[in-house]
Amino acid sequence: MGAVTVSLGDLPLRDELRGMKPYGAPQAPLPVALNVNENTHRVPDDVAEDILDGIAVALREVNRYPDREFTALREAFADYLGHGLTSDNIWAANGSNEVLQHVFQAFGGPGRVGFSYAPTYSMYSLLARGTGTGWVDGERAADFTLTAESAVEQVRAVSPDIVLLCSPNNPTGTPLGLDVVEAVYDATDAIVIVDEAYAEFAPHDAPSALTLLEGRPRLAVSRTMSKAFAFAGARVGYLAADPAFIDALRLVRLPYHLSALTQAAALAALQHSEEMLRMVDDIVLQRDRISATLEALGYQPSESWSNFVLFGGVDDPASTWQQLYDRGVLIRDIGLPGSLRVSAGTEEETTAFLDALASIGETA
């Protein structure tokens, strides 16, 4: 019997998924990969050893289902976050993307609308469409900032069911004032999610939206271990909210969605949080070095409270990206006119990027 070849268009795909492209970024075996906002520092050896020990213990009982409520991990996240939170305030999943997917499954769906202020994290709209939720993009000022007045005006015009506020914003690195969060929450009956995936890279005295949770049952703050904890490959994200909000997420999670091995690895890493977070100071140093050097080279770096820098003033982003690629450096063309984005890596990786960019000789 001969094989029959079909295309995606031949399958009975949901109408709202037709023409969409899956999320992704170039993966290439280049010496310097600074394109997906990873923490490029390796997990310290002593931490890695403890993680391996924890996994080894969990492996002995891997024939049994894991703790469905991942109780110990929720307690550890609550201790790490502070602010009077308890395990009842915590949810976790396989990366913050799955956490946000649970939010869309619980509070979105057909006939409901998600909303954020573009440019922002591109997965938000994909998660919305993947759950049958409508999506509307708002806008930011030319410098990517967002005022409370503008945010409220836009959210009232849309009346969404879910609002996502990325703070600091991806892909721009822009900080977001808590006054914006408060104003948006008060102006709508929507679920409001503050995505603080890069919160640890903000100034130490910058307040977190965690301080706003009390008395706001529709507010949640999402975090991840991928960035500050150098845990991108482990896929662990988490969220803090009112206990009733957490109960809503239980309704849509898959059974035993966090494996015993994932729970063990995350617990071990959290026990070394101070050591892991020392890497953040090194990354911030390189981020600020990148911004200063880009400006000296004639580019226009945006203010960043994250582990990456978006820079404008690029005459031909595609050509510049390719020339860096040819020099063994991978960064990200996110589609913003005249702009490229680079992650802050180790000192050696940062030097390689800056030297390669300087050798191109392109300025605004």
What CATH number has the domain bearing residue 325? 3.90.1150.10
Whole-angstrom Cα distance, residue 115 to residue 131?
14
Residues 342-360 pLDDT 10s: 999 999 999 999 999 999 9
pLDDT band at residue 364 under the 50/70/90 scheme:
very low
In a domain, 307, yes or no: yes
Q: How many residues are given for the chain?
A: 364
Same domain, 85 and 224: yes
Q: Is residue 9 part of a domain?
A: no
Residue 319 has pLDDT above 60, yes or no: yes
Q: Is the peptide bond before 160 cis (omega within 30 degrees of 0)?
A: no
In this structure, are 175 and 317 located in the same domain? no
For position 38, what pLDDT does the model report?
A: 94
Name the nearest CA neighbour of 206 among 240, 173, 162, 242. Answer: 173
| Confidence label for 5 from pLDDT (cuts 50, 70 and 90) | confident
Same domain, 193 and 238: yes
Query: Burial code of 148-172, b = ≥16 C-beta within 10 A, e = fewer?
Result: bebbbebbeebebbbbbbbbbbbbb
With a pLDDT cut of 70, the percent of the chain lying above it is 98
Predicted local distance difference test score (pLDDT) of residue 363: 43
We report the CATH number of the domain holding residue 75 as: 3.40.640.10
Average pLDDT of the chain, as a whole number: 95
Residue 11 in domain: no
Mean pLDDT over 48-71 rounds to 96
The yes-or-no verdict on residue 70 having pLDDT over 80 is yes
Boundary residue ending a domain (271, 305, 333):
271
pLDDT of residue 2: 57
Residues 237-286 pLDDT 10s:
999 999 999 999 999 999 999 999 999 999 999 999 999 999 999 999 99
pLDDT interval class at 1 (50, 70, 90): very low
Examine residue 236 and state whether it is found in any structural domain, yes or no.
yes
- pLDDT for 338 beyond 70: yes
pTM for the predicted model, two decimal places: 0.94
Domain's final residue, options 245, 271, 297 = 271
Model confidence over 128-173: pLDDT tens digits? 999 999 999 999 999 999 999 999 999 999 999 999 999 999 999 9
Q: Residue 220 above 90 pLDDT?
A: yes
Do residues 121 and 234 both lie within one domain?
Answer: yes
Same domain as 254, residue 333:
no
Asked whether the beta carbons of 78 and 90 are under 8 A apart, the reply is: yes
**Co-location of 179 and 199 in the same domain:** yes
Burial class (CB in 10 A: 0-12, 13-18, 19+), 41: middle
Instruction: Answer whether residue 308 is part of any domain.
Output: yes
Give residue for tokens 């396989």: 94
In terms of residue numbers, what domain contains 102? 45-271
Same domain, 157 and 285: no
Residue where a domain stops, chosen among 271, 292, 309: 271
Q: What is the mean pLDDT of residues 69-83?
A: 98
Split into its structural domains, the chain has a count of 2
Judge whether residue 120 has pLDDT over 70.
yes
Residues 345 and 231 in one domain: no
- The confidence score (pLDDT) of residue 330 equals 97
183 and 306 co-located in one domain:
no
pLDDT at position 143: 96
Position 128 in a domain = yes
Split at pLDDT 50, 70, 90, the class of 26 is confident
Asked if residue 2 belongs to a domain, the reply is no
Whether omega before 171 lies within 30 degrees of 0, making that bond cis, reads yes
* 106 and 204 assigned to the same domain: yes
Residue 362's pLDDT band, with cuts at 50, 70 and 90, is very low
Q: Is position 218 within any domain?
A: yes
- Kindly calculate the radius of gyration of the chain based on its CA atoms and give it in whole angstroms: 21
Q: Are residues 173 and 317 in the same domain?
A: no
Same domain, 213 and 354: no
